[in-house]
Chain A
C-alpha cells in the first residue's frame, strides 16, 4: 500500500464532512454572505476561534 490510499482517505474525510453537513440541512445563501473582506466592512467579526471564550 502507498500514500495514494491514505491521502485519498484524508480527502474523502473532508468530503464526507462537507457532504454530511449539506445533507443535514445546513444551507448556503450567497445573498446573505458577509462582505468579501472583513477589513473595511464596518462589521464585527463573527467567526469562531479557539482563543475566544464561549459567547464570543
Chain B
C-alpha cells in the first residue's frame, strides 16, 4: 500500500487521535448498551483488523506467493500462529468442555468440494474470509464489491447446508487433549517441513520479524476470542446472518430453511447483530483495517481501473466465497485457522482441498481481468 502523507504533522496527530477516540467510543458504547462481552469482542475484532492490515498478515496472498514464487514466509507465519493457538486452546477445550467449544465439523463430499471452490475463488479476488473484510476496510474496491455478495452467498449456502451434508458426511473427528495437541503440532511441523522443502532456494529463509510479531498477536487475539466468546474466531456465520436479516426485512420467510429455523439460528435472527459474536469481530476487522489505512494516509491512493468482466467475476467469486465456505464449515479462519488450532480434522481436509483450489484460482485470476496476464 502506498504511504502518502499530505497533511501537516499536527493535522496527522489530530486525525490519528480522532481515529483512536472513535474506535474507543464505539467499543465503550457497545459495552454499555449491549454488554461487556460484546464490547470486548468488538475490541478483539478491531485488534484483528489493525494487525492484519497494519502488519500485512494474510492468507490468500501468502498462498499465492507459495504457488507462484515458492515463497513460504507467509504460510510459515500462518502455521506458527495456528500452533500457538493450539498449544493453549486444545488443553483449554479439554479442561472447560461446558464453557468452550471448538471449530469442530465433519469431513464430507460437499465440505471438500466447498473448500476447493473457496480456495479458487479467494485467489480470483485475492481475498479470503478475513482478507475480504480487511481489504474492503482499507478501500480495496474489488473486496468492497465482493463483500455483500459474500454475505448473500453465506446466507444461501447456510440455507442449503443440510441438503449438501446429506450427500455424504463422515463423523466429526477431533484431536483432543494432550495426545490431540501432539498430533496437531506434529502435523503442523510436517506441513512446515513440506513447505520449506518445496520453497525456492532463494526464498528458503525464516519469515521476517513483522510476520513473527503478527503471528503472535493474531494468535493472542484468537485466544482472547475463545476466552471471551467461548468459541473460536470465525467470519462466515456473521456475514450470512446479515444477509438473512436483510431477507427477513424484505419479507422473505427464511424459516422455510431448516438451518434458519433451528433454535440457535432463529434466536440470533431475532437478536441484535451487536450481540452476535462473529458479527462483532467482522465489524471490528473492517473498522480496524480502515483505521490503519487512514492512519497511514493510504486512503489517498487512486482506485485502479478494471474491465467489466473483472467486476462480473468479482460478484460471482464473492457469492461463491460465501456459499462454499458454508458447505466447507468455514473459511480460512473458521475452518483452517480455528479448525486446526482446536483439533478438528476438517481443518486439515479444508487446507488440502482449498490449497488445491488456490492453484487453479491463481491461474483464473488473469482470465478474470483482475491482473495483467503473465
Q: Which residues of A contact B (CB under 8 A)?
A: 1-7, 9-11, 13-14, 17-18, 20-22, 24, 26-28, 30, 32-56
Whether B264 lies near A48 (C-beta < 8 A) is yes
Whether B144 lies near A6 (C-beta < 8 A) is yes
B187 in contact (CB, < 8 A): no
Whether B37 lies near A54 (C-beta < 8 A) is no
Whether A51 lies near B329 (C-beta < 8 A) is yes
Whether B298 lies near A26 (C-beta < 8 A) is no
Closest A residue to B303 by CB, please name it: A1
Q: Which residues of B contact A (CB under 8 A)?
A: 32-38, 40, 92, 96, 98-105, 136-141, 144, 147-148, 161-162, 165, 226-232, 234-238, 241-242, 245-246, 248-249, 258-259, 262-265, 268, 270-279, 282-283, 286-287, 290, 293-294, 298-303, 325-326, 329-331, 334-335, 338-339, 344, 346
Q: Taking chain A's interface residues, is the majority helix, strand, or loop, or is none over half, making it mixed? A: loop
Task: Please give, as numbers and ranges, the residues of chain A lying within 8 Å of B264 by CB-CB distance.
Answer: 46, 48, 52, 54-56
Task: Please give, as numbers and ranges, the residues of chain A lying within 8 Å of B300 by CB-CB distance.
Answer: 2-4
Task: Please give, as numbers and ranges, the residues of chain A lying within 8 Å of B34 by CB-CB distance.
Answer: 28, 30, 33
Whether A33 lies near B38 (C-beta < 8 A) is yes
Whether B140 lies near A6 (C-beta < 8 A) is yes
- Give Cα A36 to B270, complex, Å: 22
Whether A38 lies near B138 (C-beta < 8 A) is no
Task: Please give, as numbers and ranges, the residues of chain A lying within 8 Å of B227 by CB-CB distance.
Answer: 37-39
A-B contact pairs, 27 of them (CB 8 A): A3-B298, A4-B139, A6-B144, A10-B144, A10-B286, A11-B286, A13-B148, A14-B283, A17-B283, A22-B274, A26-B273, A28-B274, A30-B32, A32-B35, A33-B37, A33-B38, A36-B35, A36-B37, A38-B231, A39-B228, A43-B99, A44-B101, A45-B101, A47-B276, A47-B278, A49-B277, A51-B102
